[in-house]
A = this chain, B = another copy of it.
Amino acid sequence: MSEHKIRNMEEFAALSGLSRPTVSKYFNDPSSVRPTTRQRIEEALERYDFRPNIFAINQNRSLTKNVGIVVPYLADPFFAEIARIIELRCIAAGFSPILYSSHGDRTLENEILEGLTALKPAGVFLAPLGRLSDRSAIERFCRDVPTVLFDSNIEGMGEAFVGSDNFSFVQQTVEYLCRTGSPPCFFEMRTPANPNANKRRNAYLRIMEEAGLEPHVIKVEGEGWGFEEIGRQGAHDVIASGGLKTETILCSNDRLAIGFLAACYERGLRVGRGEGCALRVASHDDHPFSRFTCPALTTAAHEYEAVADRCMETLFSLIESGGRFAQRDETLIPARLILRASA
């Protein structure tokens, strides 16, 4: 690297002994110039450390190499983990991922989408807030930007959806629980933020019905993203009031289960499938921490990698199709049951 800073491509081209259009061509596709030319540019690049001005590059372009990733709440380790994998995949594919969290806020989600539109991204992965989302705003956004929804489906929006097969999640846990002990009740929030929760409850009801078993759904109060605390408080309430009709509890998601287990511990209730255990608790998601709860949580796992890979595949073919699919593409990825000590 040498002394003074290079101001623009003109200057850099001169220093490489080439013309600006050639250098410009190189930056858009290094293989589009003669190998010797390419080498000259790359040598100069070593010496002078020049990068084309991003704003100027994109100014006159209808599409960029930007890819937006929007999740509803990044401080939820589930979303952090899935976003992490998608982000790495984007980088590997030569895109510039830009990560946003709606922080559980409808207004913020709208603002993110507006700002994202302005960035002219090649595509966007959007995990919407769900119940709180402004459907018309999302619809408008999807008209302007090639969008792949993930995690949380909103019927008809975006060109594709990649998510988990909630029925498969619940089927596996319920089947396992029934096979190894008493049938479970279903523990969830009364007003879940996310359509997955509704799908899971409905799956539970249907599976129990088909098995000729009586379903029990326990709905606990609470708003916001503090699921663990909602689960903990709800567990205390339902246990104290004798509302627990079964000794097996299937939580809608791991974060609620983490709270449930905390409450059990606080009450001295032993959870697990062994001798002397009062309750069995299972759940869904394979939250990054579910391995470390006490006891470790039996759960139906998302195939994080598979979801991320499928997201990328979908976006690639979407981009190749010019940003539109003839028909909305839906992928549901089944769960993988993970047996641990809690049930």
Q: Which residues of A contact B (CB under 8 A)?
A: 51, 53-56, 58-59, 74-77, 80-81, 83-84, 87-88, 91, 96, 98-101, 103, 108, 114-115, 117-119, 228-229, 232, 258-259, 261-262, 265-266, 288-289, 291-296, 341
How many Å lie between the Cα of A112 and that of B119 in the bound state? 18
Other A-B pairs beyond A55-B55, A265-B294, 5, CB < 8 Å: A54-B119, A74-B84, A84-B101, A228-B289, A262-B291
A313 to chain B, nearest CB (A): 21
Docked-complex contact A59 and B55, CB < 8 angstroms = yes
Can you name 11 A-B residue pairings with CB atoms under 8 Å? A53-B59, A53-B118, A54-B119, A75-B84, A84-B103, A96-B115, A99-B99, A99-B101, A228-B292, A229-B292, A289-B289
Please classify the interface of chain A as helix (H, G, I), strand (E, B), loop, or mixed, using the class held by over half of its residues. Answer: helix
Docked-complex contact B101 and A291, CB < 8 angstroms = no
How many Å lie between the Cα of A126 and that of B128 in the bound state? 28
A292: chain B residues at CB < 8 Å are 228-229, 232, 258-259, 261-262
A118: chain B residues at CB < 8 Å are 51, 53-54
A136 to chain B, nearest CB (A): 11
A245 to chain B, nearest CB (A): 24
Quick one: closest B residue to A56, CB to CB?
A: B59
A58: chain B residues at CB < 8 Å are 55
How many Å lie between the Cα of A77 and that of B98 in the bound state? 19
A75: chain B residues at CB < 8 Å are 77, 80-81, 84, 288
How many Å lie between the Cα of A266 and that of B293 in the bound state? 10
A80: chain B residues at CB < 8 Å are 74-77, 80
How many Å lie between the Cα of A192 and that of B74 in the bound state? 25
How many Å lie between the Cα of A10 and that of B268 in the bound state? 70
Among candidates B87, B98, B289, residue contacting A258 with C-beta atoms closer than 8 Å: B289
Q: Which of A55, A88, A229, A296 has the most CB of B within 10 A?
A: A55
A311 to chain B, nearest CB (A): 17
Quick one: closest B residue to A60, CB to CB?
A: B55
Docked-complex contact B103 and A296, CB < 8 angstroms = no
A289: chain B residues at CB < 8 Å are 228, 258, 289
A81: chain B residues at CB < 8 Å are 75
Quick one: closest B residue to A88, CB to CB?
A: B103
Q: Which of A76, A229, A266, A289 has the most CB of B within 10 A?
A: A289
